[in-house]
Amino acid sequence: MKHVPTIMLTALLLAACSPSEVDAPDGASVPGVTAEQMALDPESLNALLLAEADNLVPSDWSTGEPAPDTALVYWYVPELREGITADSDCTPQDEPASYDCTLTLTAPNPEADEEERRDVTAMYRLQVRVNDDNSLTLLSPNVRWAVQG
């Protein structure tokens, strides 16, 4: 029974910290979610990477330096489709409407041996700006990238 008050307190704190529906500008379709937050969803970030594919510089996740040629054989930004789960996490930066975002895509790897089969996760870290029309602009062509699995 000790955990019930903690859970209730946590729920109340989360509710109190959530933006109210009146904070959402016109055009935001989810109560409490701004149009800017909607622009930062995984689908929009993935679409931005696909649109900018010819301009991207795949970069080492840790250092931000351009990835070596030997690693580029693994560089791939897939279109979202059934079986791929996508998640995004964006942190506001000092410049207005700019964000440091991590896009995480996870998919099964059917090409692996059955006993070694596990999901493959690709993470892309990119700097974006949300424009007045809620479209996205890539602030740097350097996209930090890592693959697991």
**109-119: pLDDT as tens digits:** 777 667 777 88
Does residue 19 sit in the same domain as residue 73? no
At 54, the amino acid letter reads D
CATH assignment of the domain containing 87: 3.10.450
Higher pLDDT, 12 or 80: 80
Domain count, the chain: 2
Does residue 41 sit in the same domain as residue 97? yes
Q: Of the ranges 9-23, 52-66, 79-93, which one carries the lowest mean pLDDT score?
A: 9-23
Does residue 81 sit in the same domain as residue 23? no
Q: Which domain holds residue 113?
A: 35-148
Mean pLDDT on 34-53: 86
Does residue 102 sit in the same domain as residue 141? yes
Does residue 125 sit in the same domain as residue 80? yes
Contact 100, 91 (CB under 8 A): yes
Does residue 103 sit in the same domain as residue 87? yes
Chain segment 57-78, per-residue pLDDT in tens: 999 999 999 999 999 988 999 9
The CA distances from residue 115 to 108, 111, 148, in Å, are: 13, 11, 17
CA dist., res. 35 & res. 86, Å (int):
19
Does residue 88 sit in the same domain as residue 21? no
pLDDT given at position 108: 87
CA dist., res. 46 & res. 103, Å (int):
7
Does residue 22 sit in the same domain as residue 59? no
Model-level pTM greater than 0.75?
Answer: no
Does residue 15 sit in the same domain as residue 43? no
Does residue 90 sit in the same domain as residue 77? yes
pLDDT given at position 31: 52
| H or E segment and range at residue 17 | helix 3-17
Flag whether pLDDT at 13 surpasses 50. Answer: no
Does residue 65 sit in the same domain as residue 10? no
At 85, the amino acid letter reads T
Does residue 23 sit in the same domain as residue 80? no
